[in-house]
Amino acid sequence: MLSFHREGYKIIAITFGFVIAGIFISERFIELFWLLKVIQSLLIVLLIIVLQFFRNPRRVTDINDNQIIAPVDGKVVVIEEVEESEFFKDKRIQLSIFMSPTNVHVTRYALSGTVSYSKYHPGKYLVAWHPKASEKNERTTIVVENSVFGKVLYRQIAGALAKRIVNYAKEGERVIQGTDAGFIKFGSRVDLFLPLHTKLNVKLGDKVKGGIQVIAEKY
């Protein structure tokens, strides 16, 4: 059964109302048959796009503290050793997943643990694959402390189209791998900052599925 994320309920309702009104108004005022059908078709396409963007497919996670799962659907666009300057202030493995507007945009917890840090940063709206997007764009930084991996940081990053990041993580909260961690509206990216000794199960260009695909594990 198709379900939708709660962050989309209001937008879906508004879009549905707009499309229905547009269809009735066009029937009343547009006499050219071909133009009427073009406008009505475009309105229906708009509704379909909004519905598919906010879809929330059910994912069953095999919870395992020795594994890190993909937090979102998308394409792996960055794997490199970097200096993480906001929280750790040391070297980490950065793994970045880019979400196109056609991907599922639900953010899920990549591992179970306790949220030790959660902060929102206002910022710019550079394209999500821009090298400086992780530092300059609107974003949230969340750190989950896990019994096996220690502290793992993930960052929700707004893209050129995304204008609102929803983050459910609260400091001190116990979270479960695979459960709903937030949502990023209309195109974006998630960065993970992992310990250097982490074994990666993905490579650049791989497409991953949030909530179920194992992307890293403990050596």
Element at 95 (helix H, strand E):
strand 90-99
Counting every residue written for the chain, the total comes to 219
196, two tokens = 């250097």
**Coil, strand or helix: which one is 73?**
coil
CA geometry: angle 159, 179, 48, nearest 5 deg: 50
Query: Any residues with CB less than 8 A from the CB of 67 and at least 6 apart, and which?
Result: 111, 214, 216, 217, 218
Per the CB < 8 A criterion, the answer to whether 115 and 173 are in contact is yes
What are the tokens at 26? 């066009």
The torsion angle over the Cα atoms of residues 173, 179, 184 and 189, rounded to 10 degrees, is 100
CA distance 50 to 2: 14
188 residue type, one letter? S
Query: Catalytic site residues?
Result: 188
